[in-house]
Amino acid sequence: MAHLVRIGTRRSKLAMTQSGMMQRAIGHALGVADADLAEAVPLVEIVTTGDRVQDRRLMEIGGKALFTKEIEEALADGRVDVAVHSMKDVPAEQPAGLCIAAVPPREDGRDAFVSETFATFADLPMGARLGTASLRRQAQALALRPDLKIEMLRGNVDTRLRKLAEGEFDAILLAVSGLNRLGFESVIRERLSLDDFLPAPGQGALALQTRVEDTGAVWVAALNDPMTALAVAAERGAMTALEGSCRTAIGAWAAVAGDGLRLTTEMLAPDGSARWRRSAEMADVNGAGAMTQARAMGLALGAEVQAAAGDQRVMS
C-alpha cells in the first residue's frame, strides 16, 4: 500500500503517543484498516534542536520554535504531509506556505502538581524546591508563594518524574494533558486551578500543521473540533499581542459556555511580584466569521493587558 499521509513527529514518548493517536484518527477518516496503518499513514521521526539541548531554558537557546523548526522544514520540503505539535509549542506566526489545518478535541488544559511527599501545592513547606522550566509556571507559583525556590527542570516526562523520585525536587509542575495521554494520571497529586495557574495558550490542544494547499484534504475536517479551534484562536490572539514566547510569562484560557466564548489572559513579572489580567466574552460562537472574531478578541484583550502592564513589565 502506498503512503497516503506521512506524519512528522518528535521522538519523545509524549510526541510519539500524540502522533500515534492522530495516526489512528487520520487512518480511520481515510478508511485504512488498522493492519495497514504503519504503511499507509507512517510516523516519520524527526529530532529537533529543542530535544537535543536539555540543559538550558528554551529562552536561552531560541525559544519554543526549536521544537517545531526541523519538522516544519520537512513539511515544507515535502518529506512529510502533516506535523503533529503540542499547540503550546507552536509559535504565534506560521512559516510561509504552512498553516494549522486542524485542531482536534482538547485534553484537560490544567497544570498538574506532582510530588512524592506533599499532597497539594499549598502543603509545600517554606523554601521548598519546585521544578519547572516554564517562566509562566515559575511566575504563577511565586505570585502565590514567593518563598519557593524555583529550579530548572527540562527533559521528557519520564526524565522529570525520575528526577523528582531521586529527590532533586520537592515537587514539579507538568501539564495534566501530557500525563493523561501517557497513562500517568496516577502521579497527579493535584490538578491546579485555572484561576491560580492560568494555562499556556493552547495548552492541552494539538495542532495539525500542513502545507496551505493541503487544507482541503478529506481527513482535515474529520479531525478538526470547531469549538477547540475557536478557543485556541482566541488564546493565540492574546499570545500574539503579548509577544508570547518563552521569554514572557503569559497565560490564556478560553472556553465555550452556551453560545458564548469567554477568554481570560494575563502577563506576570517572572518573579511573581506583579500580575496583569483581563477577561472578555464573545457572544455568538456559531456566527459567520467566528474564528476571525475570536482571534480579534484575543488580540484586543492582549493589547489591554500589555497597556495595563506598561513599562512595569519585566521581560528577562
Q: Give the residue ranges of DSSP H helices in the chain.
A: 13-29, 37-40, 49-52, 58-61, 69-77, 135-144, 157-165, 176-181, 218-223, 226-241, 290-309
| Grid cell listed for 129 | 524546591
Average pLDDT over residues 249-270: 94
From the list 237, 35, 31, the residue with the least C-alpha distance to 4 is: 31
Note the pLDDT tens digit of each residue in 36-46: 999 999 999 99
* pLDDT in the model for residue 126: 98
DSSP 3-state assignment of 125?
Answer: coil
Torsion of CA 181, 183, 186, 187, to 10 degrees: -70
What pTM was estimated for this model as a whole? 0.90
Q: What is the CA radius of gyration of the chain?
A: 19
Model confidence at 59: pLDDT above 80: no
Model confidence at 314: pLDDT above 50: no
In the chain, the percentage of residues whose pLDDT exceeds 90 is 79
* Beta carbons within 10 angstroms of residue 20's beta carbon: 16
Q: Could you tell me the domains of the chain?
A: 1-104+205-224 (3.40.190.10), 111-191 (3.40.190.10), 225-316 (3.30.160.40)
pLDDT band at 245 (very low <50, low <70, confident <90, very high): low
Model confidence at 311: pLDDT above 80: no
The mean pLDDT value of the chain amounts to 91
Give catalytic residue positions: 89
* pLDDT in the model for residue 315: 44
* Beta carbons within 10 angstroms of residue 296's beta carbon: 15
Note the pLDDT tens digit of each residue in 209-226: 999 999 999 999 999 999
How many angstroms separate the CA atoms of 137 and 134, rounded?
A: 5
Cα 20 to Cα 71, 80, 103, 309, distances in angstroms = 16, 15, 15, 42
Model confidence at 303: pLDDT above 90: yes
